[in-house]
Structure 1
Amino acid sequence: MSEFRGADLKQAVLKAEHALGRSKEELEIEVLDSGRRGLFGLFARPARISARVLAVVESAAPQPRTVQGEVEPNSVAAPVEEAVPKESAVGAPDLQAELSPEEITARHEHNLYRMSAAAVKLIDYLTTAYRALRIDVSARVAKSTAREVEIELNAKTPGQVIGYHGRRINAFEVLSAAFLSYQGVKDAQVTLDIENYRAKREEAITRLGERAVIDVIASGQAVFLDPMPARERKLLHKQLEENRNVRTYSQGREPFRSIVIAPK
């Protein structure tokens, strides 16, 4: 089989079709590497496939033989019934599919190892990406579970790492989650912190909510806050959910989703 490469699987298949002069339906294709587009052009990898032309086999109906003791030309063979696997009822639990405690433990250990290995690569990615912005940072894993990772950043210029109102560090959190997804860790929760910025930000968000409530009660009109990440919106919702004078809701789309505090 010949090997073909492309920016993605589609381009690799197109190259195979052009080189072999056949459509993809006439090719036997094996995916060697689905490739990776990378982030900011980093860690990009081409897609690789191997392909060859399928051998065309013409299936002809077998001719009955006239040897003594076998089927005569005009005889009709009885149909052969194939065994069809029984399907379980829709929605019925498959008891054999239930995992044993040992299997659950083994899978959990595997997930922990996968996150740990991906977090090491994530640190290299973050330092490289910040360096592309001419910001020298170092990083370490402060906490790691199967689905969550907290990374502590360190730099001589923390303000450049954080950005205006935390926009840069928040953006890098989004990129970090995407990077972990490329590494096979889906729906990971990433927290980046530097010089206790996250705790200070929570205090600022709490004060912001208190001032907004005063403005809403005084004016009788809703207050529209600046866009903020989901973690900060959740903090405000929780802070004001039992307030008898105001209600909160989110509007807009990520990454510009924001909170509205309105009178009840």
Structure 2
Amino acid sequence: MKKIVASGKTIEDAVQNGLTELQVSADRVNVTVLEKPSKGLFGLIGARAAKVELVIVPAVEQEKASEPAVAAEAVRDPLHETERFISEVARTMGLDITITRNDSKEGLVLALSGGGDLGMLIGRRGQTLDALQYLTNIVANRYSNSHLRIVLDAEDFRERRRKTLEDLSDRLAGHVIRTRKEVVLEPMSPHERKIIHSQLQNHAKVKTFSKGDEPNRRVVITLK
């Protein structure tokens, strides 16, 4: 029984590449999906092609079925697949990391630690970490029957960033009171804007609101 493993950008491409190599039509093979495609971080890091196995159907079996059968994928643990994805991205960046799971009110926290410069995974003001967190949630929910909320952290960046934003909020509130002029902050993620709003929501003299469209939505601090 002849069989091959073929790959491509999509499952359809992988199947077509396999059919071309075998020089047969689609009704002559059984197809098993081995790996779904993944674009990887920013479409570059950790990218993975689709991979399928094609088995030529014996003549007797071919008479019983006129269409190819796609075997069902084995059930995969969503957290295992998520951690595997993160580790692959880290290895691509030359980092050897350890992942620790912690529960929080915001979701399941995957804390990254290890040797090397984890700052590469964090990026400027956490932008790389946020992008990786976004992709991590896509991977987790691809394999989960219920919605998962994953928070990605590295070297306690989330807590350090929260403290920085809270201190910044207090300083800028004082500036607004002294100058009696509103302050417009730089564009921030929804999570970081929420930190600013929460820090000043009970302030006696200033208030906050957001303006603009994503990804350039900003917090404004002004007098009440």
TM-score (normalised: structure 2): 0.64
- Match runs of 1:49-68 below 5 Å: none
SS in 2 for 1:188: coil
Distance of aligned partners of 1:182 and 1:38 in 2 relative to their CA distance in 1, 3 Å threshold: farther
Aligned twin of 1:143: 102
SS in 2 for 1:193: strand
Q: Which of 36, 46, 50 is residue 45 of structure 1 equivalent to?
A: 50
SS in 2 for 1:153: strand
Considering fraction of residues, name the structure with more strand: 2
SS in 1 for 2:50: coil
Structure 1 residue runs of 5 or longer lacking an equivalent are 21-30, 54-112
Contact 1:246/1:261 (<8 A) preserved: yes
Contact 1:123/1:139 (<8 A) preserved: no
Q: Distance in 2 between matches of 1:186 and 1:259?
A: 33
Deviation of 1:9 (Å):
8.0
For 1:243, give the aligned amino acid: H
For 2:196, give the aligned amino acid: L
- Match runs of 1:211-226 below 5 Å: 211-226=171-186
Deviation of 1:161 (Å):
2.6
Q: Distance in 2 between matches of 1:262 and 1:170?
A: 28
TM-score (normalised: structure 1): 0.55
Q: Distance in 1 between matches of 2:49 and 2:216?
A: 28
Residues 1:263 and 2:223 are matched in the alignment: yes
Distance of aligned partners of 1:186 and 1:219 in 2 relative to their CA distance in 1, 3 Å threshold: farther
Q: Distance in 1 between matches of 2:220 and 2:181?
A: 10
Q: Distance in 2 between matches of 1:254 and 1:185?
A: 29
Contact 1:177/1:187 (<8 A) preserved: no
Aligned twin of 1:159: 119
How many residues align structurally? 188
Distance of aligned partners of 1:251 and 1:187 in 2 relative to their CA distance in 1, 3 Å threshold: farther
For 2:202, give the aligned amino acid: E
Deviation of 1:243 (Å):
1.7
Of stretches 122-131 and 180-189 in structure 1, the one that deviates more from structure 2 is 180-189
Distance of aligned partners of 1:240 and 1:130 in 2 relative to their CA distance in 1, 3 Å threshold: same
For 1:142, give the aligned amino acid: R
Contact 2:10/2:49 (<8 A) preserved: no
Of stretches 155-164 and 231-240 in structure 1, the one that deviates more from structure 2 is 155-164
Q: Distance in 1 between matches of 2:160 and 2:143?
A: 31
> What's the Cα RMSD here?
3.9
Aligned twin of 1:169: 129
Distance of aligned partners of 1:248 and 1:239 in 2 relative to their CA distance in 1, 3 Å threshold: same
- Match runs of 1:82-121 below 5 Å: 117-121=77-81
Aligned twin of 1:231: 191
Higher relative contact order (CA 8 A, sep 6+): 2
Q: Distance in 2 between matches of 1:43 and 1:171?
A: 18
Deviation of 1:186 (Å):
5.9
- Match runs of 1:172-251 below 5 Å: 172-184=132-144, 187-251=147-211
Contact 1:155/1:161 (<8 A) preserved: no
Distance of aligned partners of 1:196 and 1:42 in 2 relative to their CA distance in 1, 3 Å threshold: same
Q: Distance in 2 between matches of 1:197 and 1:37?
A: 27
